[in-house]
Amino acid sequence: MARTVLRRVGGVLLLFLSLAAGLVAAVAGFLGAAGVTAVVPALAATMLAAFGVAVFPLAWGAFALLALRRARRTATITASAATVVLAVLAGVTVFRPMPAPGDPAAGPDVRYWNLPTGSRIAYSHVPASGAARPTPVVFLHGGPGTANDGVSDAGKALAADGFDVYAYDQLGAGRSSRLSDVTGYTVARQVADLDAIRRAIGAEKIIVVGQSWGGALAAHYMAAYPGHVAKAVLSSPGVLWYGAFPGQSTGELWDRLTAGQRTRIEDLASGPRMLALDLLAGINPEAAHALVGDREADTRFREILAVSLPAAQCPGRPPARLPANRQGYYVNQFTIDDARTLPDPRPRLRGVRVPTLVMRGECDYKKWEVTDDYRRTLPDSTLVYVPRAGHAIAMDQPKTYLATLRAYLLDRPLPLPPYTGSASPGPAPSGS
């Protein structure tokens, strides 16, 4: 009697073990297949086959312990039924696309460059009013991948001052083209695109105005083409060289989020499909891209940015809004990954004599050392500190931002005194 009970208990436990082993085998099969193919149906088929193959022998053993007459047949039926259930569950989770609405209609001012780099770049241009100045201004948006809605109000004011002003969507963002090979999103590609743009507008030199990642892009462009930059304005620039901060946080939006915001972002970034995307990206980016396409990934990226946007502002400032333009998920992920592997650009930049204004907000979530690295590296740089402004200085203090930008580009006295101290002028980012 006791032996019979033990056999039945063992049979039931082995049956549950067969399902657990099947799930482990399914994940292993899915990821293993991703190492050799990016064809999504092949990934799904391998996952289901691995599940069934793992479940069957253990289920057969379980039914044998349970003394069923047709243990093998029952195991076959069980493995088949479980595989069908897994297929249905995977179909509505891992393989079911997330909502991906279309782009807003392009404005009448949106035009395109077909660059020799292979990039198709969307841009807006506001020509100079009155007496034109010789050097055009090119705005570089942040992210990577967070394109703006054309030329900003600050850009239009510069056009009224006589500057030809351009704002463009970087490769992989906004209305610009996407790459089929997402590993092609690199800092070098963005630098090459910017120089191709300079040539497309027929300028020997340009003035670059970069926000966040756009500031880092401007610096990398100056390192590569110092003779083609007349002036630079870097607003809340991102990390110049990650190697300067080994194993350290450089300050992230995450550091400033409330518990509710973190929970919401974790919800958006979790789930079977997003988990599969993250896992595949580390094994075979092509497979990740095949599973979750650009529009779908961009939509989820936008949702995450919408939740985290308040952390880019100083508390108490009027709420900002995301641009209507489409954000770029893959260019964000892979350009940052590439930036982390770059050699140090600072030795070259120390010899670049380009007048550069660096702006830092009081509430910037980036660590002070990230901003100060630009001032210490660029020999002709000036740093100004903007009170009651976060990482998004132009959003929090638009009048101060514009006045400072115009004064610097027009060679007038700055409305803010240069900051020359060695320590952070404002409160350290929380979480640092």
Print the domain residue range for 66.
2-92
Position 429 pLDDT exceeds 90:
no
Position 253 pLDDT exceeds 90:
no
Report the CATH number at residue 126.
Answer: 3.40.50.1820
- Cα–Cα distance between 51 and 49 in angstroms, integer? 5
Task: Kindly state whether residues 61 and 132 are assigned to the same domain.
Answer: no
In one letter, which amino acid is 50?
A
pLDDT of residue 254: 87
Is 429 part of a structural domain of the chain?
no
Is 236 part of a structural domain of the chain?
yes
Mean pLDDT (the chain) is 94
Q: Which residue has the higher pLDDT, 108 or 2?
A: 108
Task: Kindly state whether residues 20 and 128 are assigned to the same domain.
Answer: no
Domain closes at, from 24, 59, 92: 92
pLDDT of residue 140: 98
> Could you give the C-alpha distances from 209 to 5, 214, 335, 373, in angstroms and in order?
77, 8, 19, 18
Task: Kindly state whether residues 85 and 159 are assigned to the same domain.
Answer: no
Task: Kindly state whether residues 21 and 128 are assigned to the same domain.
Answer: no
Structure tokens at 411: 């060679």
Task: Kindly state whether residues 63 and 198 are assigned to the same domain.
Answer: no
What is the tens place of the pLDDT at every residue in 358-392?
999 999 999 999 999 999 999 999 999 999 999 99
Position 13 pLDDT exceeds 70:
yes
Task: Kindly state whether residues 203 and 309 are assigned to the same domain.
Answer: yes
- Cα–Cα distance between 125 and 139 in angstroms, integer? 10
Sheet holding 229-235, edge to edge: 111-114, 120-126, 165-168, 137-140, 206-211, 229-235, 356-361, 381-386
Task: Kindly state whether residues 222 and 366 are assigned to the same domain.
Answer: yes
In the block, tokens 């393989």 appear at 95
pLDDT of residue 130: 83
Task: Kindly state whether residues 87 and 188 are assigned to the same domain.
Answer: no
Is 424 part of a structural domain of the chain?
no
* Domains of the chain: total: 2
Is 103 part of a structural domain of the chain?
no
pLDDT of residue 8: 76
Is 192 part of a structural domain of the chain?
yes
In this structure, of 88-92, 99-103, 204-208, 349-353, the range with the lowest mean pLDDT score is 99-103
Task: Kindly state whether residues 121 and 57 are assigned to the same domain.
Answer: no
DSSP 418: B
Domain closes at, from 92, 123, 142: 92
Task: Kindly state whether residues 270 and 318 are assigned to the same domain.
Answer: yes
Is 418 part of a structural domain of the chain?
no
Cβ-contact 102, 173 below 8 angstroms: no
pLDDT of residue 428: 43
Position 56 pLDDT exceeds 50:
yes
Position 3 pLDDT exceeds 70:
no
Task: Kindly state whether residues 83 and 167 are assigned to the same domain.
Answer: no
Task: Kindly state whether residues 118 and 154 are assigned to the same domain.
Answer: yes
DSSP 144: T
Is 102 part of a structural domain of the chain?
no
Phi, psi angle pair for 386, to nearest 5°? -105, 110
Residue 92 — pLDDT band, cuts 50, 70, 90? very high
pTM exceeding the 0.85 threshold for the entire prediction: yes
Is 100 part of a structural domain of the chain?
no
